[in-house]
Amino acid sequence: MTPFLDVPFLPEEAYIHFINSNSAHIDSIHFSLMGAKRLDNRVDPKSIDNLDTIIRMVEQVKVKNKYLLLNSIFYGPDLLTKNEHLTHLIDCIDKCVNAGVVKGIIYCDQFLLQSLSIEAPGLAKSLEAIPGTNTMLDSQAKISSHLDYIGETNFQLPSKLTLDRSLNRDFEKLTDTVNWCRQGYPEIKIELLANEGCLPFCPYRNSHDAYIALGNHEGDDNSSRINEKFGCRQLLDKQPYRLLQSPFIRPEDVDSYLGQADLILLSGRAQGLDFLKKTVSAYVAKSHDGNLLELLDSMNWLGDQLYIENSALSFDFANMLSVCDNHCSSCGFCMELFRAIARPLNQDQGKRKTEAITV
């Protein structure tokens, strides 16, 4: 059996036991340094400030490949301009390397990558630099450019690349991009993000990531409130059928993508232990009987209001959506499908959701 999943790490003993019991299916984990100053692109996951504790817990994970998340879209100037701040980060990374718990870093901010390369060249040479999902690698030119820029640093080139989720629903472009990668960089594995569950080509994404980064820097995150009032959440609340337009990969469709990709990336650290256990289990089994929303990171909140029967979706669901031309006003496919498989759950939300379903 070839391991194919890249899963989040949580610093919880029960989760470590769960990961180890499924290690035959898991190629890699990604973890955060935690701490008061957020260094990864998530909102308020479980925080453990003691680095020794994090290292000890990551050491317990029986998975070969372990990656450190430094994937905020940007960092406050203090980290890059005040030596004591960057030195502290370098010391933390160095400690992880010496403990043998990190193969590379996942980054989005090229300024951070360059500063680490200059200030700790020896450390950088021992680590891969892997572009994070928010670099949106969706074309040959963008992939080539990112690899060239990594080559300008002391970091190693990545052993894997995560392609942008938009390619999940564009099979022709996905095939062309993967074939180009195989020819030019045969040593690099290809990874696809399966369950983020955001809108296609989300117009709020860049700003949302910036608000998260700003909240991490200032210690006062308002990104969820902003998103609920003005962003994709308010749009999905009014037009929930749009969730079917999201370029997620269902557990049942994984094998059709593994013909192209090597790895399937799962997200959802901020959703907690129960979410991750259910999601990882579904993708290991390549099957999920229940509410599709239980598996989607960004749309998980809708699961308290709506039930989307995953088993009601056709076996060729991914193929059907791959021909989407994004002309929703003249198509109506997703709305009709949504009406057939969705039902409201919450009594208080029921009237509004029923109206949305029957519009």
Q: What is the pLDDT of residue 36?
A: 46
Q: What CATH code is carried by the domain that includes residue 254? A: 3.20.20
Q: Name which of 192, 187, 205, 196 is nearest 163 in CA terms.
A: 192
Q: What is the pLDDT of residue 86?
A: 92
Q: Name which of 10, 7, 94, 95 is nearest 47 in CA terms.
A: 10
Domain assignment of residue 186, given as a range: 5-358
How many other CB atoms are there within 10 angstroms of residue 179's CB atom? 11
Tokens 């056709």, residue located: 314
For residue 99, how many C-alpha atoms fall within 13 Å in the half-sphere facing its CB? 20
Domain count, the chain: 1
Residues 133 and 73 sit within 8 Å (Cβ to Cβ):
no
Q: Going residue by residue through the chain (359 aa), what tens digit of pLDDT does each one get?
A: 689 999 999 999 999 999 999 999 999 999 998 654 556 655 444 556 689 999 999 999 999 999 999 999 988 888 888 888 899 999 999 999 999 999 999 999 999 999 999 999 999 999 999 999 999 999 999 999 999 999 999 999 999 999 999 999 999 999 999 999 999 999 999 999 999 988 888 888 888 888 788 877 777 777 778 878 887 888 888 889 989 989 999 999 999 999 899 999 999 998 999 999 999 999 999 999 999 999 999 999 999 999 999 999 988 888 887 777 777 777 888 889 999 999 998 755 544 454 455 44
d(CA 279, CA 35): 26
How many other CB atoms are there within 10 angstroms of residue 322's CB atom? 15
Q: What is the pLDDT of residue 45?
A: 47
d(CA 265, CA 131): 13
Q: Name which of 138, 139, 131 is nearest 112 in CA terms.
A: 131
Q: What is the pLDDT of residue 38?
A: 54
Q: What is the pLDDT of residue 37?
A: 55
Q: How far is CA 43 from CA 37, 204, 298, 304, 314, in A?
A: 11, 16, 12, 20, 34
Coil, strand or helix at 204: coil
Determine if the pTM surpasses 0.85: yes
d(CA 9, CA 102): 13
- Write out the DSSP string of 164-190: -GGGGG-HHHHHHHHHHHHHH-TTSEE
Q: What is the pLDDT of residue 359?
A: 46
Backbone angles phi, psi at 309, to 5 degrees: -70, 105
Longest dimension (CA), the chain: 61
